Amino acid sequence: MPTPENHSKKRLILGSTSPYRRELLARLGIAFDVERPEVDETPQPGEKPAALAMRLALAKAREVARHHPEAVVIGSDQVADLDGEPLGKPGNHERAVDQLRRMSGQTVVFQTAVAVVCLSSGFEQSDLAAVQVAFRTLTEAEIEHYLRTEQPYDCAGSAKSEGLGIALLERIENDDPTALVGLPLIRTCRMIRAAGVPIL
């Protein structure tokens, strides 16, 4: 039989099937479930990368919360911003090669949005972490070797900074160190605490 303390804890759901976000949230040592949000991620005409990331993070959290109104739901989305153009997940080798060629020698802003929603309490907050990433000037051989080795086809911008992708970069500038991996945990912790989920 659950104790009154356990019974009062809100259920936490990660509205994402990303293994990267799941691993990051697991670092907090709190129980959570995972559910796939059914959200169309197609950018709207003229939509800027930051606006796209925020819209999708909120849409994912709201969609899962609709099925679990008592739960606290986290939604997140990341869009690579190359001079105002959104770059999403490449999905295959050819598109990943194209993305890395275009980002070579450039500074790309990875816009990582997080939203927390609880319908029963009316709680809804969202925030955006913008991470500036300076890419080295990459050779064709480096691009090919990296992609064949790591196959980051499910990552916005085709680069995994937590793995070999760090070798593609000159520098990273951010205020939330996990944001580039896919879930800004400092912001996430702040919002789920405010929604009634204790962490410490």
154 is catalytic: no
Query: pLDDT tens digits, residue range 65-97?
Result: 999 999 999 999 999 999 999 988 899 999 999
Candidates 80, 78, 61, 157; CA nearest to 112 is 78
User: How confident is the model at residue 8, as a pLDDT?
Assistant: 52
User: How confident is the model at residue 9, as a pLDDT?
Assistant: 79
Would you say 62 and 89 are in contact if contact means Cβ atoms under 8 Å apart? no
User: How confident is the model at residue 86, as a pLDDT?
Assistant: 92
Length of the chain: 200
Residue 166 main-chain phi, psi, to 5 deg: -60, -25
SS3 category, 169: strand
Angle between the N-to-C axes of helices 185-194 and 19-26, in degrees from 0 to 180, rounded to the nearest 10? 70
Active-site hit among 77, 81, 127, 176: 77
Overall fold of domain 4-194: Maf protein (3.90.950)
Low-confidence stretches of the chain (pLDDT < 50) are 1-7
User: How confident is the model at residue 6, as a pLDDT?
Assistant: 40
Which helix (H) or strand (E) covers residue 102, if one does? helix 93-103
17: Cβ–Cβ under 8 A, 6 or more apart, which residues? 34, 36
R_g of the chain computed on alpha carbons = 18
